[in-house]
Amino acid sequence: MTRAVAASRRPSALARRLRHRFSRADLLERALTHSSGAPVARGRPVAAETYERLEFLGDRVLGLVLADLLYHRFPEESEGELARRHAKLAWRESLVEVAARLDLGLYVRMSEGESHAGSRRNAAILADCCEAVIGALYLDGGMKAARGFIERAWGPLIEADQAPPRDPKTTLQEWVQARGRRLPHYRVVERAGPSHAPEFTVELTISGEKPERARGRSKREAEQAAAASLLARLAGGDGRTARDDA
């Protein structure tokens, strides 16, 4: 049984835009199937027939390829600067921008109710499908196919920022404000070492996420390190958290 309606466009048309000929067309079809358009068993969508598992894989492939691209594109930048670039490029906003250029929402299979509710334009769904497409490319054509697409799609975004994004604390604050959450809270949980060379451990908390701890030679350094670590987790370690669930 299926509740799916035909997508506005055929997956084969998207494959041409991806510049890849799929030997397993079912992978791309699955990458474009929302839970509302999947077959149903025992009253629930069959998870293996939706984009969710491919999204998980695509998120990790995207993170690795972006890290490699940035490492070689900006050889003079520090780890922190590269991490800030990576976080911005892997966030939902960048994924949605890429998805919009592909008109990805028009290819997604979903129920009539979801379609009429505007879900083809839902940012979280577009971001998830974009990552699922990367996962499908990887499984069908290996890293070469996935990397080729990422280089073409993210290349303009990488070149658009000649300077690294702002410091982690500012970036994190903008992230939470854009989602209507409370401002980040930083708390010193430990101070160690001699007075002339102290080391601070700071715990960072924001609503809806696990706390993050980091150390530094000053409170500010520890706070920046905690913010950078949390941003990296939001962008790469758990992509779903960074973009919020659909």
Contact 45, 38 (CB under 8 A): yes
Cα dihedral value 14, 15, 19, 21, nearest 10: -170
Distance CA 47, CA 40 (A): 9
Catalytic residue among 49, 114, 128, 131: 131
User: Phi then psi for 190, rounded to 5 degrees?
Assistant: -160, 145
Active site (annotated) includes residue 221? no
What's the burial of 233, exposed, middle or buried (CB within 10 Å: 0-12/13-18/19+)?
middle
The helix/strand/coil state of 61 is helix
Q: Pick the catalytic residue: 49, 59, 128, 140? A: 59
What is the total residue count of the chain? 246
Quote the CA–CA distance of 238 and 24 in Å, as a whole number: 28
Q: Is 36 exposed, middle or buried (0-12, 13-18, 19+ CB in 10 A)?
A: buried
Asked about 59 being catalytic, the answer comes back as yes
Residue tagged 């911005």 (tokens): 88
Please give the positions annotated as active site: 59, 131
